[in-house]
A and B are shown apart, each in its own frame.
Chain A
Amino acid sequence: AQSVTQLDSQVPVFEEAPVELRCNYSSSVSVYLFWYVQYPNQGLQLLLKYLSGSTLVKGINGFEAEFNKSQTSFHLRKPSVHISDTAEYFCAVTRKTSYDNVIFGPGTSLSVIP
């Protein structure tokens, strides 16, 4: 079975500073990887996804993530955060097979400080 670990439950960062949100997964087979964002009192939105090919994927709002197979990681980064990036971020994984559910990590709460 797959699992997802997000080591940091809360990440405070000053506005315009860079940020990295860490995600590690475990799986015995090839996987697809996702990052979702949840703004306060809203549902989750897909931020970006890794399916295959280039290990660096770009998403919405200036975020990017890098897939590292040897370290089984998929860390999310942004070079300069804004107040509007304050949200909960979820890493997720699913096996590369149909009819398989997505497994979500516990989430990281990003707080951007003015």
Chain B
Amino acid sequence: DVKVTQSSRYLVKRTGEKVFLECVQDMDHENMFWYRQDPGLGLRLIYFSYDVKMKEKGDIPEGYSVSREKKERFSLILESASTNQTSMYLCASSTATTAYYGYTFGSGTRLTVV
């Protein structure tokens, strides 16, 4: 089975800190995604990547950046954390034929910014 591993299940950070959320997948998937999930808003796409060193903005990229230096790793960066970035963050990956197979998700990182 494909595994998508997010390095932290829970994180607490202070306002203004630079925060790194790490995601690693072990099945050579081309595509990787970062979502945030908030009550009543469902999943919102932050950034995605179709290949190493490639990145595309999703629906809510403001306040975030990403890095994909290796195929298996996709990092989400909060340059200066703010309280409105308190959320559940979900990483996902898929093969190049995204549509057919759907996504595989990690277990999520619940980030609290105080």
Main secondary structure of the interface of A (DSSP, over half): loop
Given known A43-B108, A99-B50, A104-B42, contact A49–B102 (CB-CB < 8 A): yes
Indicate if A94 sits at the interface (CB-CB under 8 A): yes
- B41 to A106, Cβ gap below 8 A? yes
Residue B112 at the chain A interface, CB threshold 8 Å = no
Closest Cβ–Cβ distance, residue A3 to chain B (whole Å)? 12
Q: Does A17 interact with chain B (Cβ within 8 Å)? A: no
How far apart sit A42 and B106, CA to CA, in the bound complex (Å)?
8
In the bound complex, residues from chain A placing their C-beta under 8 Å from that of B104 are 46
The docked-state distance in angstroms from the alpha carbon of A45 to that of B4 is 12
- Is there contact, CB below 8 Å, between B105 and A101? no
Q: Which residues of B contact A107 (CB under 8 A)?
A: 42-43
Given contacts A43-B4, A105-B42, A106-B41, contact A97 B99 (CB under 8 A): yes
| CB–CB A43/B40 < 8 A | no
| Contact, CB under 8 Å: B97 / A98 | yes
The answer to the question of A34 belonging to the interface, with a C-beta cut-off of 8 Å to chain B, is yes
Question: Chain B contacts of A34 at CB under 8 A?
Answer: 102
In the complex, whether A56 has a CB less than 8 A from a CB of chain B is no
Residues of A within 8 A of B (CB): 9, 32, 34, 36, 41-46, 49, 51, 90, 92, 94-102, 104-107
Extra 16 A-B pairs, beta carbons < 8 Å, given A41-B108, A107-B43: A41-B107, A42-B108, A43-B6, A43-B108, A44-B92, A90-B42, A94-B99, A95-B99, A96-B99, A98-B98, A98-B99, A99-B96, A100-B98, A101-B33, A101-B98, A105-B42
